[in-house]
Structure 1
Amino acid sequence: MDITQFFLLFAGGLLAGFINVMAGGAGFMTFPLLLAAGMTEIEANASNFVAVLPANVVGSVVYRRELAKVRRHLGLRLGLAAAGGLLGSFILISTGQEAFRAVIPWLLLFATLSFALGPWLKNKLERDFAFDGSRWLWLSFLLEFLVFVYGGYFGLGMGIVMFAIYAIFSQMTIHEANAIRNVTITLMTLISIAIFAQAGVIRWVPSLVMMGGAMTGGYFTAKIAMRVPQVAVRRGILVWAVCLTALSFWRYH
């Protein structure tokens, strides 16, 4: 790895740290950089888990007070994250990612629409059908598990889907949802890294360089996010989701 690749990977990690703490989905920016460093697609995907891990770890620490407000069902959600990440990672190692590449843009489009329309849909259900999301927690948990399976397989954009699920099925604020998202994705990512390391598909040196950038970006962004109004955070997340979806269609179609 030459000096140009070093600085490119570090800068990519820095931006990934900012994006992942705020909204998730930075992998579509970091993944091509890892490919440019000479990795195969599966190596770049596996190494990407290592590179962006600090963003969620730092986010979990900074949002720990918000997490204390939503401790109910946290143990179950952690269990779903562990099981889903385990299953998704085994599927990736067993089948490769070629088939999945074709559906990534459509999944991200669904995720973006879900996040954008989540609050409106929730209000409409509550107003017109007396919908109470707390009565459908089993469906929320099922959807969360499926998102974690997807996350263990590839993971790009999963944070956006989780925000949409929380918006429809809970009364959580955007910061409380961010707290749960960070801690569950951290656990899922650690499990996936263990599986990928065992399979020998992680390129450690480039991953750790990008991780250094992600750690720096994640720390400062998490501090800023706690001071930003919910509306501003949601708008920022939505803008990134739209960009992420457009980029995925450009890259994979």
Structure 2
Amino acid sequence: MGWQEIVLLFAGGVLAGCINVLAGGAGFMTFPLLVAAGMSEIEANASNFVALLPANIASLYGYRHELRRPTLMLGPRLVLAGIGGALGSLGLLWLGEASFKSAIPWLLTFSTLAFALAPTIKRWLEHRHNFDGKRWIWLSFLLEFIVYVYGGYFGLGMGVVLLALYAMFGHDDIHEANSIRNATITLITLIAIALFAHAGVIRWL
């Protein structure tokens, strides 16, 4: 890797870190940069977890006081995130490069549509069915688990989709939603890094 690629990745990483703290979605920037630097798609995906880990930890630390709120139900969410993230990462390693490359457009479409349509779906449910997300915590956990599996497999867009889900199911306070997001994503990131490092698919240099 030449110095041009290093400078490009460094600049992209700094900008992505700022984006990650505010709203998530930094992987949309860092993943194509890693591919452009010469990594295969699966290497870029695995290495992307490492690239975003410092920003995840910084975000988690910044929201450390909000994590004490009992309304977050953080314990069950961390259990689901740990299991889902591990399943997603193991699925990536088992399915391999060809399946991952063919799935990328669909995964990006899923994350983009889920984030874009969540507010509209929430308004429709509230208007037509008097929907109160706080009373449907089991459904929230089920949908979150699906996103956690997706996040362990790919990661891109996981943060923005989770924010949309948290808002739909009663966590309208952006700081509260961000604190849950940062905790679950940091755990998934650590698990993914451990599994990908063991499998040798992370490009450290």
What corresponds to 2:38 in structure 1? 38
What corresponds to 2:61 in structure 1? 61
Map residues 7-86 of structure 1 onto 2, 5 A cutoff. Answer: 7-86=7-86
Instruction: Map Cα deviations across residues 84-112 of structure 1 (whole Å, 9 max, x no partner).
Output: 11000101111124334444444444443
TM-score norm. by structure 1 comes to: 0.74
Q: Does 1:148 align with 2:141?
A: no
3-state DSSP class of the match of 1:180?
helix
3-state DSSP class of the match of 1:156?
coil
Give 1:170 shift: 1.4
TM-score norm. by structure 2 comes to: 0.90
Q: Any runs of at least 4 consecutive aligned residues in structure 1 with deviations exceeding 4 A, and if so which?
A: none
What letter matches 2:41 in structure 1? Answer: E
**Alpha-carbon distance change, 174 to 70 in structure 1, aligned in 2, over 3 angstroms:** farther
**Alpha-carbon distance change, 20 to 72 in structure 1, aligned in 2, over 3 angstroms:** closer
Give 1:120 shift: 4.2
Tell me, yes or no, if the aligned pair for 1:56 and 1:182 is still in contact at 8 Å: yes
Paired-residue identity, %: 64
**Counterpart-to-counterpart distance in 2, 1:117 and 1:41:** 28
> Could you say which structure has the greater relative contact order, defined with CA pairs below 8 angstroms and 6 or more residues apart?
1
What corresponds to 2:2 in structure 1? 2
What corresponds to 1:188 in structure 2? 188
**Counterpart-to-counterpart distance in 2, 1:162 and 1:146:** 10
* Ranges in structure 1 where 5+ consecutive residues have no aligned partner: 206-253
Tell me, yes or no, if the aligned pair for 2:41 and 2:101 is still in contact at 8 Å: no
**Counterpart-to-counterpart distance in 2, 1:70 and 1:98:** 43
Q: State which drifts further: 118-127 or 85-94.
A: 118-127
Alpha-carbon RMSD across the aligned residues, in angstroms, is: 2.0
Map residues 1-253 of structure 1 onto 2, 5 A cutoff. Answer: 1-205=1-205
Give 1:72 shift: 4.1
What letter matches 1:2 in structure 2? Answer: G
**Alpha-carbon distance change, 101 to 40 in structure 1, aligned in 2, over 3 angstroms:** closer
Give 1:68 shift: 2.3
Aligned residues: 205
What letter matches 2:190 in structure 1? Answer: L
Instruction: Map Cα deviations across residues 65-84 of structure 1 (whole Å, 9 max, x no partner).
Output: 22223554200000111001
What corresponds to 1:215 in structure 2? none
Q: State which drifts further: 42-51 or 103-112.
A: 103-112
Give 1:25 shift: 2.2
